Structure 1
Amino acid sequence: MGKKILLNAFEMTSAMHNSHGLWKHPENKRQRSYKDLNYWIDYAKLLERGKFDAVFFADVLGVYDVYKQSKTPSIQDGLQVPLNDPALLVSAMASVTENLSFAVTVSTTYEQPFGNARRFSTLDHLTNGRIAWNVVTSYLPNAARNFGLQNMIKHDERYNIADEYLDVSYKLWESSWEDGAVVEDVENNKLVDPEKVHEINHEGQYFSVEGPHLSEPSLQRTPVIYQAGTSERGRDFAAKHAECIFVGGPTPERIRFYVDDIRKRAIKHGRNPENLKIFSFLNVVVGRTTEEAEEKFKEYASVWSADAAKAQYGASGYDIAEYEELDPELPFSYNKSTEGGHYKAATLTTDAPKPLTVGEVLNRFESPDRGSFIVGNPEEVADGIQKQFEESGVDGFNLNHLVTPGDLEAFVELVVPVLQERGLYKKEYNRGTLREKLFTPGQPLLPNDHPAARFRPVLTESK
């Protein structure tokens, strides 16, 4: 049996995600419905019908304000604002599904690990082990100011904080409560055995946490760890901690470079590279015919917002407005370093298939990048997905969608059956927790080669 594609719906609890300007499309329901719980309940049922592994909730803690040194372009076009807290949707979506899982983004830069650990234990309990944490380090200047900082914490220091944050989290999840701590001993008036609940007494450079953890162990103890990072430091952090890793790249060959590099780094950290699943972006526009799909893409391009796309690129720390008055024939390059998202900056430089001119860079923001989309009838789209899957070496994709829920409905109805017929996509879910579905049935806990395992009491067994 060959490797099957893993699939997450790439989502935000906002009026718009990466569909810049598409709020104007008459069939787009999300800008009116993202606040409606019934919308998300129906969304969860749709994804489970399509055998999606998870919904991957991205999140930010500020407004994009680098482009033109202003928040106006982002706010005007609804670039990930207004935005609600994704964690609060998970219980409702889990209540109407049995197998769909949920990856929730939370930053290690601004929140304390003690409260975050309880959040994820709670969600893991309420979903019967279907929860993942997408670990991010936050890259928006406005986010830093929202949490009382004048300037962003430097890129590499954010990863230093994240390393310690994960250690604190592992101690709370893996070592604070022993197995069997909840005894329900009516005869001796003892619900919990105090001898099996421990303080963690963490004293580090960034955090001081006494403990114990407030939640008893959930099915997975530690949620499945997701992480996205293509910088040198980001890849090393992912190789050390993450189980599911989200990488980007303009070509399957560039994505494979990141896949191979991260797996090699995992070995250096003492981990089995098979205990990692790697995902990349997937952009699809499908129609019943090629002509229908091309017409859809043309409609989408007609309402695209270049300003919103440029504003989102500000996550790199670079203001594209500074290039708009330059000679378009000049080679594109950066004249300074930033503390923004290195992966975003790389899309126009080191990850670009060829050196770009200023004019070529500016043109990329004017419409959806046709080269990054698979557009066609169901067979053509399945061909494109299969090619990308096989050539890039990834284990699965985060599926983007421009018009919601129409694009997802079309994918489930038209593309999923073709992938299933080809043996590339599951017809039924594996049973168990998210970790068991992704890796090994019967093993809901992190494997012993993961750095969290060193914090476990001897009594807790995992293979």
Structure 2
Amino acid sequence: MTRQIRFNAFDMNCVAHQSSGMWRHPRDRSREYNTISYWTDLAKLLESGIFDGLFIADVLGTYDVYGGTNEAALRNGAQVPVNDPILLTSAMAAVTENLGFGITAGTAFEHPYPFARRLTTLDHLTNGRIGWNVVTGYLPSAARNMGAEDQMEHDERYDHADEYLEVLYKLWEGSWEDDAVIEDRESGVFTDPSKVHEIGHHGKWFDVPGIHISEPSPQRTPVIYQAGASPRGVAFAAGNAEAIFVAAPSTEVLANTVKRIRDGLESAGRDRYDAKIYTLITIVTGATEEEALAKKAEYDQYASTEGALVFTSGWMGVDLSQYDWNEPLGNVKSNAIQSTLQHLQEEADLGREWTVGDLARKNAIGGLGPTIVGSGEQIADELQRWQRETDIDGFNLAYAVAHETWEDVIEHVIPVLRERGAYPTEYAPGTLRNKLSGAGDRVKPTHRAARYKYGA
């Protein structure tokens, strides 16, 4: 039986997400990021293509590692200005029935108690279509504006996030019993107080003694997304993640990453395929190969290599303005996204050493993921090859031009995959969790959250 490929769309509430400079393209809509219609149009488009979801990234600071200031980021519109992703969800849910929403929010700067209510509210309003992308933060500017000198050290950020999720799981899973809300109109009792429980959490970072103030939502715990591929990130994902996003420059590097993640899931007592793994990719396609190549050449005229280095410096935690354009990147340490450096080292071990110029040109469209160009048939061939060689479940599709990139995929690529039996023709029923796993609306017994259910 042919294995099906899954798609998410990858966007951000800003003008230049992964492809800095492309906001200047005459057909690009990303300048409309601060309008409702941009997001509702996108949600309807993605649902027509049976995308699993829209994954919305976020940062709470500016990219100011490059050159030691945020001037280049501001000049290029490189993820600044940027608005809150959570507030987009209700509008998109109102115009769709099945599309999932993966919302990025960090654990570093908001207390888990009000955040638990915010996610429960969205899970109610979307009828169980919410996922949360758990990030620990990596931009020093965000930490400074929240009163700290810098981010916590990389591994300590995950220790902090572990307790953050423990608080949330206790609130979501353990505070209210399933039958706590009785709505007895004769007696006048809405909720049975004996079935609502204080969580009594007292930890290193958080004290949360009381109850969750929201009644249980369709999923209780939203689908947990995670994007860290460092050793500590994989360990965190192994216990928590149900959908995992990665980025790798080649199939060889990606295959190693996927294997590490699946091994980690198994070591945590879960099935190797309990989490769907999506890799970042950008597709430029058309009716023919010639049309796709012409489109890519057109896009290249608008791409910003300076913007690409602004992004890459922030992701690596290394000021690339200090390096010569042709200088190979050697062994450097990072307190940012460690998997970025790890993947570059793995590429060097395979005999492919990257220079600063290589990164600037390659990352100008598509960011850390590859950009593939071709007809619908050629793209389908390549996606199936990546899946076959890496054991990936699907792809996180970044845009070069919004919404044109996703329109082209729906028009030219998805029909080919469907002809091959490699892409769904309809959504599974139920919540986002059931659509992804087929195992129901609540977390599986092997998931970390399950140990915090009342009575567990």
TM superposition score normalised by structure 2 = 0.96
Name the residue aligned to 2:231.
Answer: 232
- C-alpha separation in 2, matches of 1:11 and 1:210: 37
- Secondary structure, in 3 states, of the residue corresponding to 2:339? helix
- Secondary structure, in 3 states, of the residue corresponding to 2:199? coil
TM-superposition CA deviations, 1:114-158 (whole Å, max 9, x none): 111111111110111101000000000101011111122111110
Whether 1:437 and 2:432 are equivalent positions in the alignment is no
Cα offset for 1:357? 5.6
Name the residue aligned to 1:284.
Answer: 283
- Secondary structure, in 3 states, of the residue corresponding to 1:379? helix
Kept in 2, the 8 Å contact 1:14–1:80? The answer is yes
TM-superposition CA deviations, 1:207-249 (whole Å, max 9, x none): 1112211111111110000001111101111111111111222
The one-letter code sitting in structure 2 at the alignment partner of 1:189 is G
Name the residue aligned to 1:158.
Answer: 157
Name the residue aligned to 1:409.
Answer: 407
Whether 1:339 and 2:338 are equivalent positions in the alignment is no
Structure-2 change in CA distance of 1:189 and 1:219 (3 Å): same
Name the residue aligned to 2:417.
Answer: 419
- Secondary structure, in 3 states, of the residue corresponding to 2:47? helix
Structure-2 change in CA distance of 1:36 and 1:331 (3 Å): closer
TM-superposition CA deviations, 1:172-224 (whole Å, max 9, x none): 00000001111011222210111111111100001111221111111111000
Name the residue aligned to 1:378.
Answer: 376
- Secondary structure, in 3 states, of the residue corresponding to 2:101? strand
Whether 1:393 and 2:391 are equivalent positions in the alignment is yes
- C-alpha separation in 2, matches of 1:150 and 1:445: 39
Name the residue aligned to 1:200.
Answer: 199
Deviates more, 1:349-358 or 1:238-247: 349-358
Deviates more, 1:413-422 or 1:172-181: 413-422
- Secondary structure, in 3 states, of the residue corresponding to 1:366? helix
Taking only the aligned residue pairs, the percentage that are identical comes to 46
Name the residue aligned to 1:247.
Answer: 246
Name the residue aligned to 1:40.
Answer: 39
Which of 431, 448, 452 aligns to 1:451? It is 448
Name the residue aligned to 1:361.
Answer: 356
TM-superposition CA deviations, 1:81-135 (whole Å, max 9, x none): 1111111111110111111010000111111111111111111101111010000
Whether 1:93 and 2:88 are equivalent positions in the alignment is no
The one-letter code sitting in structure 1 at the alignment partner of 2:420 is R
Cα offset for 1:366? 3.1
Structure-2 change in CA distance of 1:456 and 1:136 (3 Å): same
TM superposition score normalised by structure 1 = 0.94
The equivalences for 1:128-167 within 5 A come to: 128-167=127-166
- C-alpha separation in 2, matches of 1:65 and 1:120: 30
Cα offset for 1:334? 3.6
The one-letter code sitting in structure 1 at the alignment partner of 2:16 is M
Kept in 1, the 8 Å contact 2:176–2:196? The answer is yes
Cα offset for 1:275? 1.4
Structure-2 change in CA distance of 1:400 and 1:154 (3 Å): same
- Secondary structure, in 3 states, of the residue corresponding to 1:274? coil
Structure-2 change in CA distance of 1:200 and 1:363 (3 Å): same
Name the residue aligned to 1:305.
Answer: 304
Cα offset for 1:363? 3.1
Structure-2 change in CA distance of 1:423 and 1:348 (3 Å): same
Cα offset for 1:299? 1.2
- C-alpha separation in 2, matches of 1:451 and 1:187: 40
Kept in 1, the 8 Å contact 2:127–2:218? The answer is yes
- Secondary structure, in 3 states, of the residue corresponding to 1:254? helix
Name the residue aligned to 2:16.
Answer: 16
- C-alpha separation in 2, matches of 1:389 and 1:282: 12
Unaligned runs of 5+ in 2: none
Name the residue aligned to 2:6.
Answer: 6
Cα offset for 1:352? 4.7
Kept in 2, the 8 Å contact 1:27–1:406? The answer is yes
TM-superposition CA deviations, 1:23-52 (whole Å, max 9, x none): 111111211x11110121111110001111
The one-letter code sitting in structure 2 at the alignment partner of 1:414 is H
- Secondary structure, in 3 states, of the residue corresponding to 2:346? coil
- C-alpha separation in 2, matches of 1:223 and 1:28: 32
Name the residue aligned to 2:123.
Answer: 124
The equivalences for 1:217-228 within 5 A come to: 217-228=216-227
Kept in 1, the 8 Å contact 2:173–2:220? The answer is yes
The equivalences for 1:174-193 within 5 A come to: 174-193=173-192
Cα offset for 1:259? 1.3
Cα offset for 1:369? 6.8
TM-superposition CA deviations, 1:51-74 (whole Å, max 9, x none): 111000010010000001110111
Kept in 2, the 8 Å contact 1:135–1:225? The answer is yes
- C-alpha separation in 2, matches of 1:286 and 1:237: 36
The one-letter code sitting in structure 2 at the alignment partner of 1:338 is S
Name the residue aligned to 1:350.
Answer: 346
- Secondary structure, in 3 states, of the residue corresponding to 2:269? coil
Kept in 2, the 8 Å contact 1:7–1:398? The answer is yes
- C-alpha separation in 1, matches of 2:359 and 2:319: 15
Kept in 2, the 8 Å contact 1:250–1:352? The answer is no
TM-superposition CA deviations, 1:359-395 (whole Å, max 9, x none): x332330354799222111111111111112111011
- C-alpha separation in 2, matches of 1:50 and 1:296: 22
Structure-2 change in CA distance of 1:99 and 1:353 (3 Å): farther
Cα offset for 1:11? 0.7
- C-alpha separation in 2, matches of 1:403 and 1:223: 30
- C-alpha separation in 2, matches of 1:448 and 1:429: 24
Kept in 1, the 8 Å contact 2:309–2:359? The answer is no
Whether 1:53 and 2:52 are equivalent positions in the alignment is yes
Kept in 2, the 8 Å contact 1:346–1:352? The answer is no
The one-letter code sitting in structure 2 at the alignment partner of 1:192 is T
Name the residue aligned to 1:318.
Answer: 318
